[in-house]
Amino acid sequence: MQWAEWMAKLQNKTKHIVENSSRATQRAVERASTFVRTHKKQTATITAGLVLTTAIGASAYFYYKSNIISIYHVAVNGQEIGVVNNPEVVHSWTKAKLDEEKAKHGLNLTLSDYITFTEEKLYKGHYDNEAAIKALSDIADIKVEAVKLVVDGKVVGYAENAEAAEKALESVKEKFSGIPANNVKKQAVAAASIDQPKAPPAVQVSIKEDVKLESDSVTAAQVLPVDKLEELLAKGTFKQVTHTVVEGDCVGCIAKKYGITSKDIYANNPGITENTLLQLGQKINVTALRPLVTVQVKEEVSQKETIPFATQVRNNDKLPKGETKVVQEGKEGSKTVRYLVVKENGQVVDKSILDQQVIDQPLVKIVERGTKVIPSRGTGRLSWPARGSISSGFGMRWGRLHKGIDIAGSGSVRAADNGRVVQAGWDGDYGNSILIDHGNGMKTRYGHLRSISVKVGDVVSQGKAIGVMGSTGDSTGVHLHFEVIQNGRLQNPVRFLK
């Protein structure tokens, strides 16, 4: 083999060594050594060339190794979005982004997406940090560490932390119970400090539903401040719905349209009542307030109450039927009653008696009821209707007939005989007067009365008080005008009085 040809082959091998790994270089050296041993005559020349070739190969290997770098494939939720030369590029951007959002919202933030890195070593590997960060910023989902309120298994809202959620719940309790949370806590502590058997506190405030607080990551916009969370829990909504009255509207019709009750409309609109006449174009708040939680208050209430007295009725066969007489006046008693009152969102839903103590026993009222039947037919013999003297008799007086007798005096007027009242009230010149039909063809009249104590239809017995003397009608003084009419003709009353 000619020298020139041999050198050409050696140069090709050297080039191959440069382009390949150290392992290829080693193989070339081994082949060169074998070649030297085979061609002893050219040993010196070949050795010089081999040294040169080895130096070139070593230089190439060093250049290759120095240009092998690590690159990192960045994946978000398993999807590659770019390549960077160092994970710290992503970590630094993430930290800066979270710090920026935290400064805006004042909340503890987190990057909800799952970011992973896959390392790869390549000769002059290609990466683009800027492109990777841009892709990451387009899809990065910044969320806050929050606490979600779960009511009966349903998420109703998010708070910054458990303390904020508890504060909102306590505010709702206080709103519906009217009892400061500190008072309830103090009472519970006091009850727990007693060594004797534990009695329930006088007031217990709790939320009826099953409320749980759970950690979660959500967008910052979903996190509510304490006052807004309280409003949501107490009202069930932030949005106010308004209805504009049109022709034919009524409160009940509007309530039905929006799926609420008339009471809701009255509660939302203080100026509207059952008697309000709606006006065209009038704005009505038809927001259906439905609290998301039910604040239950169990409270022990003691109060003094009256005990009504009973009435006992006895029959009295000596008292005319239809009349009653009070034998003993009744008197109310008093007692102290302790109740367990249960309220839900301010409305009483149950009230039960725990115990009661009587302070004063009531006194029974005793009434006698007359059973004596009084006949409406008179005896025909009249008793004096009033006490006094006859001031004017029956007959002609001042040029005309005086139809009865005048009895001067004062006091009560009584029925002259058994009979039925057929007239009682004002009667012209007689003033207040009474006419009694005795059922035997005889009638008696009682005029100028100050007051009347019977009514038409009453059956009266002889001697029963029916009124009081007076001076009503055509009268010159207090007296009783008494007439007797027999079979339709006026008679002198003196003839029949006993």
Residue 282 has pLDDT above 90, yes or no: yes
Domain end marker among 66, 90, 118: 66
What's the token pair of residue 497? 């009085």
Closest CA to 383 of 408, 411, 418: 418
Checking phi first, is residue 38 left (phi over 0); if not, alpha (psi -120 to 50) or beta? Answer: alpha
CA–CA separation, 176 vs 155, rounded Å?
22
Contact 163, 101 (CB under 8 A): no
Question: In this predicted structure, what is the pLDDT of residue 139?
Answer: 73
CA–CA separation, 138 vs 82, rounded Å?
12
Kindly state the average pLDDT of the residues 377-386.
Answer: 90
| 393 and 491 inside one domain | yes
* CATH number of domain containing 354: 2.20.230.10
Contact 371, 315 (CB under 8 A): yes
Question: In this predicted structure, what is the pLDDT of residue 112?
Answer: 60
Task: Say if 381 falls within a structural domain.
Answer: no
Question: In this predicted structure, what is the pLDDT of residue 4?
Answer: 53
Task: Say if 157 falls within a structural domain.
Answer: yes
- Collapsing DSSP to helix, strand or coil, 462 comes out as coil
Contacts of 95 (CB under 8 A, 6+ apart): none
Task: Say if 227 falls within a structural domain.
Answer: yes
Q: For the residues of 253-275, what is the DSSP string, one character each? A: HHHHHTT--HHHHHHH-TT--TT
What share of the chain in percent tops pLDDT 70? 79
Band (pLDDT 50/70/90 cuts) for residue 30 is low
Choice among 8-12, 245-249, 392-396 with the minimum mean pLDDT: 8-12
| 152 and 225 inside one domain | yes
Residue 193 has pLDDT above 50, yes or no: no
Task: Say if 313 falls within a structural domain.
Answer: yes
What's the token pair of residue 170? 């306590």
Between these two residues, 49 and 266, which has the higher pLDDT value?
266
Residue whose pair of structure tokens reads 């899809």 in the numeric block: 139
Kindly state the average pLDDT of the residues 251-267.
Answer: 87
Question: In this predicted structure, what is the pLDDT of residue 107?
Answer: 59
* CATH number of domain containing 247: 3.10.350.10
| 473 and 420 inside one domain | yes
Q: Which residues pair with 336 in a beta bridge?
A: 304, 357
CB atoms within 10 A of CB 168: 24
Q: What is the torsional sign of CA 443, 448, 449, 455?
A: positive
195-204: list long-range contacts, CB under 8 Å, 24+ apart. Answer: 200/298, 200/300, 202/299, 202/300, 203/177, 203/179, 203/297, 203/298, 203/299, 203/300, 204/297, 204/298, 204/299
CA–CA separation, 120 vs 111, rounded Å?
25
Q: What is the torsional sign of CA 164, 169, 174, 175?
A: positive
Residue 36 has pLDDT above 90, yes or no: no
Choice among 29-33, 197-201, 266-270 with the minimum mean pLDDT: 197-201
Range of the domain at 325: 297-372
Contact 214, 148 (CB under 8 A): yes
What's the token pair of residue 278? 């709606």
Phi first, then psi: give them for residue 182, nearest 5 degrees.
-60, -35
Choice among 23-32, 133-142, 199-208, 235-244 with the minimum mean pLDDT: 23-32
What's the token pair of residue 380? 């025909």
∠ CA 143-290-230 to the nearest 5 degrees?
45
Kindly state the average pLDDT of the residues 432-439.
Answer: 96
Residue 191 has pLDDT above 80, yes or no: no
Contacts of 221 (CB under 8 A, 6+ apart): none
Give the highest mean pLDDT range of 20-24, 41-45, 191-195, 274-278. Answer: 274-278
Residue 131 has pLDDT above 50, yes or no: yes
Give the C-alpha distances (Å, rounded to integers) separating 487 from 293, 443, 458.
86, 8, 22
Residue 473 has pLDDT above 60, yes or no: yes
Residue 468 has pLDDT above 90, yes or no: yes
Strands (E), 178-246: 203-207, 211-218, 242-244
pLDDT digits (tens, 9 = 90+) for 81-95: 899 899 998 888 878
Question: In this predicted structure, what is the pLDDT of residue 238?
Answer: 63
CB atoms within 10 A of CB 300: 15
Kindly state the average pLDDT of the residues 256-260.
Answer: 85
Mean pLDDT of the chain: 82
∠ CA 384-388-393 to the nearest 5 degrees?
75
| CA 437, chain centre distance (Å) | 68
Task: Say if 472 falls within a structural domain.
Answer: yes
DSSP 363: B
Residue whose pair of structure tokens reads 């070949």 in the numeric block: 46
Between these two residues, 387 and 110, which has the higher pLDDT value?
387
Kindly state the average pLDDT of the residues 41-47.
Answer: 49
Choice among 127-136, 189-198, 214-223, 367-376 with the minimum mean pLDDT: 189-198
Choice among 122-131, 135-144, 452-461 with the minimum mean pLDDT: 135-144
Residue 38 has pLDDT above 60, yes or no: no
Question: In this predicted structure, what is the pLDDT of residue 220?
Answer: 74
| 132 and 152 inside one domain | no
Residue 200 has pLDDT above 70, yes or no: no
| CA 498, chain centre distance (Å) | 80
| 112 and 46 inside one domain | no
Domain end marker among 326, 347, 372: 372
Contacts of 249 (CB under 8 A, 6+ apart): 278
| 401 and 445 inside one domain | yes
Question: In this predicted structure, what is the pLDDT of residue 338?
Answer: 94
| 211 and 187 inside one domain | yes
Phi first, then psi: give them for residue 58, nearest 5 degrees.
-65, -40
Question: In this predicted structure, what is the pLDDT of residue 399?
Answer: 84
Question: In this predicted structure, what is the pLDDT of residue 55?
Answer: 56
**Considering the entire predicted model, what is its pTM?**
0.45
- Collapsing DSSP to helix, strand or coil, 279 comes out as coil
Task: Say if 270 falls within a structural domain.
Answer: yes
Question: In this predicted structure, what is the pLDDT of residue 17?
Answer: 46
| 159 and 229 inside one domain | yes
CA–CA separation, 197 vs 200, rounded Å?
10
| 361 and 395 inside one domain | no
Task: Say if 101 falls within a structural domain.
Answer: yes
| 172 and 82 inside one domain | no
Residue 25 has pLDDT above 60, yes or no: no
Question: In this predicted structure, what is the pLDDT of residue 331?
Answer: 95
Kindly state the average pLDDT of the residues 58-66.
Answer: 63
Give the C-alpha distances (Å, rounded to integers) separating 206 from 54, 151, 210, 241, 343.
88, 14, 10, 30, 11
* CATH number of domain containing 403: 2.70.70.10
User: What is the count of structural domains for the chain?
Assistant: 6
Residue 152 has pLDDT above 60, yes or no: yes
Kindly state the average pLDDT of the residues 421-441.
Answer: 95
Closest CA to 75 of 22, 119, 126: 119
Band (pLDDT 50/70/90 cuts) for residue 199 is very low
CA–CA separation, 245 vs 254, rounded Å?
9
Task: Say if 292 falls within a structural domain.
Answer: no
| 351 and 415 inside one domain | no
| 277 and 327 inside one domain | no
